[in-house]
Amino acid sequence: MQVGCYVATRAWIPLRPDKGSRRRLVVGSAGSRMELSLMRPDDWHLHLREGDLLRAVVSHSARHFGRAIVMPNLKPPITTTAAAVAYRQSILKALPPDSRFDPLMTLYLTDNTSPDEINLARKSGVVFAVKLYPAGATTNSQDGVTDIFGKCLLVLEEMAKHNMPLLVHGEVTDPNIDIFDRERVFIETILSPLLIKLPHLKVVMEHITTMDAVKFIESCNEGSVAATVTPQHLLLNRNSLFQGGLQPHNYCLPVLKREIHRQAIVSAVTRGSNRYFLGTDSAPHERQKKECPCGCAGIYNAPVALSLYAKVFEQAGALDKLEAFTSFNGPDFYGLPRNTSKVKLRKSPWKVPGSYPYTSGEIVPMFAGETLEWFPSDN
């Protein structure tokens, strides 16, 4: 892929050959403006909810992402292929006219999921993975797995046979384990032993938050274990929960960690490894459900995600690695074709809305009211 710049004469001047984003500098009467042209990204971890909330948020993801792995933790959860097909239809119905956004569905793993259901899912053509929620780990996870080794091994063996990925919320739920240590303990006591038992099982460790996760992923065979990474875990640390008072809109699960862990994840992602790919974990909640005595976990970042990922890679001096992270590594891991259309990111400051109103209230996005430097568009 050529990389270069256009100057006032409109001549193409190569900057340097690389395999990353196609960059160009447009010089006009308004001065200089950097522009990135990326193969259309996908979001490999997205919460779209249902009903009015689904209709309020789906356009934000559909605007710039080609596909998304849609999480199944609804009420009731999406535990069957039939339910996944019906949920997909409700998403398609909520999309803007002429949208080509493709929701890739998942099943919610329970103690009672059967190998036959995995066969149905694989044959459906719309279910692409199964999500493991340890019971009680996060929003709507009360129906999740209580004993993966005692109750789920036959299902996981069937998934390995069909090359269907297991998407892991990687935290233990033992109340005696410190909340900041739950990812590390999950790796040590569940994920590592599981992969010893089932070495051919494909696993995505979702929304990683620690250097422990980075070390584990990079110790595994390439192509068998990968990770999604969110904007919040690349940009925020646990201080962001408390600066200027309690900040409920920075509360998510897995919870934000120490700065040393954030730096480890940034380093892993921006050096160009194909083990990591974009997964926003965008998780909308109505404002009053965040700003209350028992606020919900989840950060709504869909409208700002691409801008924030560009910020991270720019700060690391790695804009040439951005496109692989956003657009190549995910489909390659899932065995799906890369998108062919493009999106653009212009270095043009824009202010994030303070909230997005909808019929049942309003949703506060990540970095509400702040100015971001990269503006995404389709042309």
Given 169, 290, 311, 321, the catalytic residue: 169
- Catalytic annotation on 281? yes
Q: Partners of 343 in the beta sheet?
A: 38
Spatial distance between the Cα atoms of 96 and 94, rounded to a whole number of angstroms: 7
CA 71 to chain centre: 10
Spatial distance between the Cα atoms of 14 and 2, rounded to a whole number of angstroms: 7
Omega before residue 41 within 30° of 0, cis: no
The amino acid at 356: Y
- Catalytic annotation on 45? yes
- Catalytic annotation on 249? no
Backbone angles phi, psi at 83, to 5 degrees: -65, -40
Spatial distance between the Cα atoms of 312 and 260, rounded to a whole number of angstroms: 16
- Catalytic annotation on 162? no
Given 47, 60, 233, 257, the catalytic residue: 47
Spatial distance between the Cα atoms of 39 and 161, rounded to a whole number of angstroms: 31
Given 42, 43, 212, 281, the catalytic residue: 281
The amino acid at 170: G
Q: Which of 126, 90, 86 is nearest to 106 (CA)?
A: 126
Given 60, 131, 202, 285, the catalytic residue: 131
- Catalytic annotation on 207? yes
Dihedral sign computed on CA atoms, order 137, 141, 142, 146: negative
| CB atoms inside a 10 Å sphere around CB 134 | 22
Please count the CA atoms within 13 angstroms of the CA of 363 that sit on its side-chain side. Answer: 26
Dihedral sign computed on CA atoms, order 334, 132, 76, 289: negative
Locus of tokens 């994030």: 352
**Under 8 Å between Cβ of 276 and 226:** yes
* CA dist list (Å): 109 to 55, 124, 128, 204, 309: 26, 17, 13, 14, 30
Instruction: Please name the residue ranges forming H helices in the chain.
Output: 51-62, 81-94, 115-124, 148-151, 153-161, 182-186, 192-197, 211-219, 231-235, 259-270, 287-290, 305-315, 322-323, 329-334
Given 42, 43, 45, 320, the catalytic residue: 45
Q: Which residues are catalytic?
A: 45, 47, 131, 169, 207, 281
